[in-house]
């Protein structure tokens, strides 16, 4: 285990003697704060909560964690030190574990710093800390997966830019999840009529209200929303006060590209 600690301390030294860790931490905190307070419109919501904050974590991980993991192995290959490292009296798992823990520590430290937002919000809203704690546990577990995948991809090449680009999410505009999040922030806390106007939706295809919880769920044909180029549907969920509580988009990036207005005779049957 002492060998793993030696590798861990070596990698942590590389992170914090270069700008990588500092840039990542500042970028992650900045992206999350700007999204939550500016694009999500936290203070404009009638029923504000931290749900959208934690929902954005996976997308922030996908965009920023590769910047931390891209150098774990590719830099060793480029500098020609990987051969020296593997000839030392070290077991392979000790080297792999040490590098993984170093990258994971940077992510865990960053997540710890994001606690400043829930703590700040707790001064003006009542927060269920049990839910916050479990959300952070889930974020830590998800971050471990991203770090593991990023380290594996880094071992495939000696070019850090290639390692970064292979881990970055698909750039297909039809898979524009950040834009979907922005659209969600526009309608949260609003009644059905305002949501339909904001998203330029027609009347709902299906509208169901639960007798047990009095929650309203409405399904819309959202193919006319200009933000997405593929046919899909939108589900709006409303709370007891009939205010939008959740938004889901189905079929984003679907392969079906037919325009209903241009459908042939067989398509209209």
Which tens digits make up the pLDDT trace of 131-152?
889 999 999 999 999 999 888 8
Q: Where are the alpha helices (DSSP H) in the chain?
A: 2-16, 20-34, 51-55, 57-69, 74-79, 82-87, 92-113, 116-121, 129-154, 160-167, 177-187, 192-198
- What residue ranges do the domains of the chain occupy? 2-169, 175-260
Per-residue pLDDT of the chain (269 residues; tens, 9 = 90+): 788 888 888 888 888 888 888 888 898 888 888 888 777 767 666 677 787 788 888 888 888 888 888 888 877 777 777 777 777 777 888 888 988 999 999 999 999 999 988 888 888 888 888 888 999 999 999 999 999 988 888 887 665 555 555 555 444 434 355 566 667 777 778 888 888 888 777 788 778 887 767 788 887 776 555 555 444 677 788 887 888 877 777 654 433 334 444 444 444 44
The two three-digit tokens of residue 89, written as one number: 């009296």
Q: Across-strand partners of 219?
A: 206, 235
In what side-by-side order are the strands of the sheet with 206-209? 206-209, 216-221, 233-238, 244-250
- CA gap 18, 75 in Å, rounded: 13
- CA gap 26, 29 in Å, rounded: 5
- CA gap 214, 209 in Å, rounded: 6
What CATH number should be reported for the domain whose range is 175-260?
A: 3.10.450
Which tens digits make up the pLDDT trace of 50-99?
877 888 888 888 888 888 888 888 777 777 777 777 777 778 888 889 88
pTM (2 d.p.):
0.59
């Amino acid at each position: 285990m002492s060998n793993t600690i030696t590798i861990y301390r070596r990698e942590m030294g590389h992170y914090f003697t270069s700008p990588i860790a500092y840039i990542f931490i500042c970028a992650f905190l900045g992206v999350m704060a700007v999204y939550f307070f500016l694009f999500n419109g936290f203070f404009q919501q009638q029923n504000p909560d931290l749900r959208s904050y934690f929902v954005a974590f996976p997308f922030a991980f996908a965009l920023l964690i590769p910047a931390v993991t891209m150098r774990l192995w590719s830099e060793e290959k480029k500098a020609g030190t990987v051969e020296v490292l593997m000839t030392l009296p070290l077991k392979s798992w000790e080297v792999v574990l040490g590098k993984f823990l170093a990258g994971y520590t940077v992510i865990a430290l960053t997540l710890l710093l994001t606690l400043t937002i829930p703590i700040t919000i707790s001064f003006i809203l009542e927060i269920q800390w049990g839910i916050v704690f479990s959300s952070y546990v889930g974020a830590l577990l998800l971050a471990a997966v991203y770090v593991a995948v990023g380290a594996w991809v880094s071992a495939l090449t000696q070019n850090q830019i290639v390692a970064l680009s292979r881990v970055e999410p698909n750039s297909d505009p039809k898979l524009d999840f950040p834009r979907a999040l922005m659209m969600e922030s526009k309608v949260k806390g609003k009644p059905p009529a305002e949501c339909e106007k904001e998203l330029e939706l027609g009347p709902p295809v299906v509208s169901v209200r639960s007798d047990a919880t009095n929650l309203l769920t409405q399904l819309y044909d959202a193919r006319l929303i200009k933000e997405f180029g593929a046919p899909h549907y939108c589900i709006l969920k409303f709370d007891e006060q009939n205010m939008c509580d959740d938004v889901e988009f189905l079929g984003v990036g679907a392969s079906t590209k037919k325009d209903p207005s241009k459908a042939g005779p067989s398509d209209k049957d």
